[in-house]
Chain A
Amino acid sequence: MIPAPDLNLSVLLPIILVAIGSMTILMGEVLLSRADTVLGREVTESFIGTVLAGTAIFFFALTLWASGVAFAGGGVQVFNPDNPMYQLDPFSSFVTAVLALSALLSCALSITYLSELRINHGEYYALIMLSASGMMLMVAAVDLIAVFLGLELMSIPIYVLAGFDRRKLRSNESALKYFLIGSFASAILLYGMALLYGVSGGTSFEALRAGFDADNPMALVGLGLVVVGFAFKISMVPFHQWTPDVYEGAPSAVTAYMSVTVKVAAFATLIRLLAMAFGPLEASLETIFWVLSALTIVVGNIMAIIQENVKRMLAYSSIAHAGYLMIGLVTGTIEGYSAMIFYLIAYTFMNLGAFGVVVALANRGNDCERIASFAGLARTRPGLAAVMALFMLSLAGIPGTAGFMGKFKIFMAAVNSGDIWLLIIGVLMSVVSVYYYLRIPVLMYMREPEDESHRTEIASGEGAVLVVCALAVLALGLFPNRVPTLLFGDLDVLDWANRSVGMFFGG
């Protein structure tokens, strides 16, 4: 008789909440769509959508609360002490909280958009929750098996989400491309994991660190393949070509969700892998990351200039931001990692906001995608134009916004670890990026409106998300170490970012 392991279920609490939420929604959808009336209200498609979105938001709020409590408590707990697979520590609980928040905002953003595109199916929210639970599993994983499972649980629902508008060919193609590239990438990642297992004899990060032999070519190939697998997920140049196509073809609300959360989850996992599994190896990886980072910044920014479609432009801009983020990986210091975490939070709000404006303009089954269609928006939709201008300024890194603070932290980390050239490339390319980001505010404020029919009123969910994102962008940019909130007092986001990565450096 094997003694039962001493399981600690509270480690998985945030993830279990999300998983239960997704099953509740799936069942709720089936039950609601068969009922005629619920509590005296007639059951219409939009009623079902609102109820299910509300359920999703409720469960994400619970998760946010649970991971917040875990973060405040600090300390490291493992799920199964005999065979650690998942670990609840300051890093995973903090990133889980960020993921839950951005998933919550995406759900609120989608309610009206889905009925506007006539794809109001309840499975949407279940898929979002499933992929969110995958991301949370991945950032909490301390074992290659758990990383792989989390990665697939994250990716598979997003393949479906990208093709959610299944009557549109573009959405089909987007899903197909993402699926082919994604499963190819995970096969490569898996082969890398197999080689690493062959070298070290274990799949846990601890075993990898103990058994890694940098002189063994098999180990280096394995590490390289794992990095390439992740490079596809975070759209690092030269593994980025799928990004603009997938972002363009997918429904805008899905693009908003995936462009933010996948990046946060994949970067967080990469940080944990590098810090916990390959600690001593950073010197040999540094050069590779240096080159990839510089390439990603340059290609992302240059290609963004020539785009005529907002979603493609934002896709290339997200590639460029992945490049800035990688500077943190190059430094490999606690400063660099905490700057990455802060940058990811800033990126979450500004990118979600920018896509949120695109979502709020979608009208009668069509996305508002052309950059030219933003002309004169300040006259017809002044509120939307103002927040869009703010998000563009933030993405460009103008002082006073979250984007500036994030870039500043990252560049400081680069300077302090001696990567002057990376700093120069980053700053130069940021200047280039101002050109294409400012095109949209210029069009909005200095041109006459085209007679393109945007939606004329904003839904309450979209409005709330845009206001939250705009306030967060301003607050993180002006006072990152004491973000004022009405309910919880001042929040020191910079200190949180430091504390979350501090555990990798014995803090």
Chain B
Amino acid sequence: MDQWVAAAGFVAVAIIVPVSMLVGAKLLAVTAKSSSKLKTMTYECGEEPEGGAWLQFHPRYYLVALIFVLFDIEAVFLFPWALAIEELGGLAIVDMLIFVLVLLLGWGYALRKGALKWQ
């Protein structure tokens, strides 16, 4: 039954933390009246927004984001490798070097093509 106790504890913490945060915020926050101009702004924290929110993002943004996702996901292979490297020995290091080399080639291609230039 121990794991159920732990699970119940986890659930309890998961409920208590957000509820206490909400209650605390209610008690401490300075609230704007619903009719005030501040209430209708995008951010109620006092920073005044510039322009509309429905602006078009530059395609460059998507390009950089996509390249980030591609390289980021390779950590999926690096992480188990890093955990097991002590037992695997030298060959595994060579293997990973080849893997990273191929990735570097891709990165070099993206760089030279100007995909990462932010302008």
Contact = CB atoms under 8 A, between A and B. Distances in A.
Q: Do A and B share a direct contact in the complex (Cβ within 8 angstroms)? A: yes
A30 B89 contact: no
A149 to B, nearest CB: 12
A103 B17 CA distance: 61
B87 interface: yes
Contacts of B87: 1-2
A27 interface: yes
B3 to A, nearest CB: 25
B105 A23 contact: yes
A2 B89 contact: yes
B109 A30 contact: yes
Nearest to B88: A2
A4 interface: yes
A30 B88 contact: no
Contacts of A2: 87-89
B112 A1 contact: no
Interface of B is mostly: helix
Contacts of A4: 89-91
A2 B81 CA distance: 13
Interface of A is mostly: helix
A1 B89 contact: yes
Contacts of B113: 30
Contacts of B108: 27, 30
B25 interface: no
B102 interface: yes
Interface string B73-89: 00000000000000111
B111 to A, nearest CB: 9
Nearest to A126: B109
A34 B89 contact: no
A80 to B, nearest CB: 11
A23 B109 CA distance: 10
A26 interface: yes
B89 A26 contact: no
Interface of B: 87-91, 102, 105, 108-109, 112-113
18 contacts: A1-B89, A2-B87, A2-B88, A2-B89, A4-B89, A4-B90, A4-B91, A5-B91, A23-B102, A23-B105, A26-B105, A26-B109, A27-B105, A27-B109, A30-B108, A30-B109, A30-B113, A34-B112
Given A4-B91, A26-B105, A26-B109, 12 more contacts: A1-B87, A2-B87, A4-B89, A5-B91, A23-B102, A23-B105, A27-B105, A27-B109, A30-B108, A30-B112, A30-B113, A34-B112
